[in-house]
Structure 1
């Protein structure tokens, strides 16, 4: 697994950090400065439903194309992905970076999701079957989801503090929804169809995105 990480480290040393393709849109509702972007999801929550279908997983071949070629290639996929797809697709490149130059408010959400994937993979470390991994992810989903200003919220200053209880709960519910959606899609790539761990993913459980210690 260490060799796999070394290979990716060599790759990301020659490519820039990957940013979200979603641009700032005044029509998108925001909470704590975070855009509540549409999701391809059946999960109940405040996120608008994307009209692009439901969550999909980019094949390893397509991921390599995105990784090795111009980031303009991302535009080819932009009309068929949501922010969760982007976070999962870019995770194994972006997780190596200690700094992230924010280009848009969607990048803030991408940062949060990248860290969450980091946390989820840490929980999956040692889970040798899909059943064990699913149980670990369910337990993660039962944990408290803090919002800016509360203890345990990562990246102080990334988002603005809620101006009301309503805004705080709106953001909390959105984070719960997007974390649950991310968890489900992550399980489908972290484990193979036969239920065994995918070393190309679980090898990254030891990484620390932006040098933040994973709880």
Structure 2
């Protein structure tokens, strides 16, 4: 059974930087991402939906530029879960929010950089303005993904209060080795 691929691979009129799509996002954070329709799913929703299934696969065939963005966001989501579960004490929602906000804003490698883990699958940006645009876009996507992940990790109870500890149905995937082999 093959891994699940992005439904955004076939979109027309999408900016491509290197060989990665710059897709619309429903975001509350500032950045260069085009705004997505609030009633439809975006790549962040798709990443959260497909994460638990895709991390079980040992390989992932790339079918288009949106799959590269899906892979990047899946790796980032996995790193977020690792950050949350790294401490011996389960973090509260506020502690997790601080951790993931800091992590999403940290400096990170882009395709073409020596420290980027998947350089063989990604083309580097063509010039420095494309690299700046991609870095800003990925920073915005990382912030939005971290924010929405917290909503999944700490679901609201019947009285509208967030859970005291992260959901075991998400944290159990923190140490899972998937198609990225980490």
Same fold (TM over 0.5): yes
Distance across 1 between alignment mates of 2:115 and 2:56: 22
Residue 211 of structure 1 and its aligned partner are, at CA, apart by 4.1
Q: Is the 1:147–1:153 Cα contact (8 Å) retained in structure 2?
A: yes
Structure 2 stretches lacking a partner, 5+ long: 156-161
- What does residue 91 of structure 2 align with? 128
CA–CA separation in structure 2 for the residues paired with 1:205 and 1:17? 19
1:45 aligns with 2:31: yes
* Deviation by residue 1:92-140 (Cα, 9 ceiling, x = unmatched): 1101112101122111111111111000000010343111211211221
More helix as a share of residues: 1
**Cα distance between partner residues in 1 of 2:51 and 2:68:** 14
CA contact (8 A) 1:32 1:160 kept: yes
Q: Cα gap change, 1:174/1:40 in structure 2, threshold over 3 Å: closer, same or farther?
A: same
**8 Å CA contact 1:130, 1:196 repeated in 2:** yes
**SS in structure 2 at match of 1:30:** strand
- CA shift for structure 1 position 16: 3.2
Aligned length: 173
Distance 1:92 1:208 in 2: 11
| 1:194 aligned partner | 163
Rounded to whole Å, the distance in 2 between the matches of 1:201 and 1:32 is: 32
Flag the 1:138–1:52 CA change in 2: closer, same or farther, 3 A. closer
Alpha carbons 1:24, 1:105 under 8 Å: kept: no
Q: Distance in 2 between matches of 1:178 and 1:160?
A: 19
Which one of the candidate residues 73, 85, 109 is aligned to 1:113?
73
Structure 1 residues without counterparts, runs of 5 or longer: 1-14, 54-79
Instruction: Give the counterpart of 1:159 among 115, 122, 125.
Output: 122
Return the alpha-carbon distance in structure 2 between the equivalents of residues 159 and 91 of structure 1: 20
Tell me, what secondary structure is at the counterpart of 1:27? coil
Structure 2 contact 111–119 (Cα < 8 Å) conserved: yes
